[in-house]
Structure formats: structure tokens, C-alpha cells
Amino acid sequence: MDKTYFLTQSTSLTIVITISLIFLILGIYHSNKFQGLNNYLTANRNIGTFSLTTSLIASALGAWILFGPASAATWGGIGAVIGYLMERPEVDQSRVGAFGISRGGYSVLQLAGTAPEKVKAVIAIAGHPFHNEPSEEEMKEILKTRNERAKFRFGQEGGPTWVPKWSAEKEIAMSKDWSLESLGLVEKINMPVLMINGDQDGLAPASNIYFMLQSGKPGLRSAKIYKNSGHCAFDHQLEWGPIAFEWLAEKL
């Protein structure tokens, strides 16, 4: 029986290229409205109806299958990423762990709470926000540190800032929407967790770690907080680095 083709190969390719160029132009046009690099990398944890609609259309066209984990996350969220990983032939599905630094420290704990049946152990170096109640002193340090970083600009004078200017209102709203506490993930993190940070971190206060230690089953969560050390305790990385990966290997 003869097959019927509605589009020739060349026509199909032309359509794909045309649609891709349209999305490229729309993306460049839309991005000109924003000056902070943070918007390009993370959408600043906010996405409008137009951006969401175009992302879903692109995903429905099958691009997420072609481009792998990063695009799969657009369609299926963080669960799609770990699902993609676990289906790879070289991966032992019974020994999947997660390691994250800075914002990645938050992300791996969010992953652990979202897919606790898949993640067997987690290491979080810093991370924020875990809870919704920073102290006044912590809030001052968060605003001071973030707004110092907001002074850095890319390119010529007047270029886009590294991160947007911050305020107490933005911090409270962000925590309300995205903290592990608000998302109801704290008690779902039921695997071994190792948390590390410095006690002078103005981006991810050590109270995040203390909060996590106060919940969960005894013996599952452990931590190291270095005195007089800053974000991620990077000045002690030569110590905690090897120890952390040895711990992860043991737990898996």
C-alpha cells in the first residue's frame, strides 16, 4: 500500500526553520525589555502568559525531546530531568544522589522533596530559602549582600546589572512562594542529607540549615557550619569537598 506524504522533506525543513526563526525574533524582542542577566538565566522565578504559552507551544512541537534535559524541564519540571537521567543505560537507578552549591543547594533539596522515591542522598552547600522567617539581622545582611552585587554591570556603563536590586518586600514574597517550607517539602525529604555553609553567609543564612535540622527523622540530617566563613564556606572547600563526596558515595 502506497504511503501518502502531506509535506515533502524540504517543505517540512523549511517550516521548522521558519518557526524557529520566529521564536528567535520574539525571544530577542521580549528580552530587550529586561536589563538584569538574572532574568535571562532563571526568568527571575516569574513568567508571564505570553512566555509560558510560547514555551508550551515549542515543547508541544517536540523540541524538548530533541534537546534533552534542559528543555525537558520546561515541559515536565524537575521530575522530567531526573527521569531523563534515570533512563540512561549507564545509570544505576537505585543509586541516584544529588549535589548542589549555592542556589543549587536549594535546587537539590527541592528535587529531593519532589521525588523522594528516586533520590537516595543529598548534599546541599548553602541554599536559600528553606524557611519563611529570617531574623531582622539576617534580612539586613541579605539586602546588603544582594544590593552590593546589584551594583555590578556587564559591558559598558549603564549595561545590565548582574542581579536586580532587592528589598525586604521582594525577599518575603520570594520566600512565601518558593521556600521549602511554603512548598510543603521539608518533611518529604526522607533520605540522608548533608548541609554545609559558613556562618557569615549574606545570601543563604545559616538559619536555613538550623531550620532543616529541627525537622525530619533523627539521624538522617547532618551539617557543618564553619565559623567566620562566608557563602558556601569556599575558603574551606579543600576540606569539605573530598569529605562530601566520600559521604555521598557511602550513602549510595
Taken in order of first residue, the domains within the chain and their CATH numbers are 9-76 (no CATH), 88-251 (3.40.50.1820)
Quick one: pLDDT at residue 65?
47
Dihedral, 152, 43, 135, 122 alpha carbons, nearest 10: -110
Quick one: pLDDT at residue 162?
77
pTM of this prediction?
0.69
Which stretches in the chain have pLDDT values below 70?
Answer: 1-7, 30-81
Quick one: pLDDT at residue 31?
64
24 vs 100: CA distance, rounded Å: 31
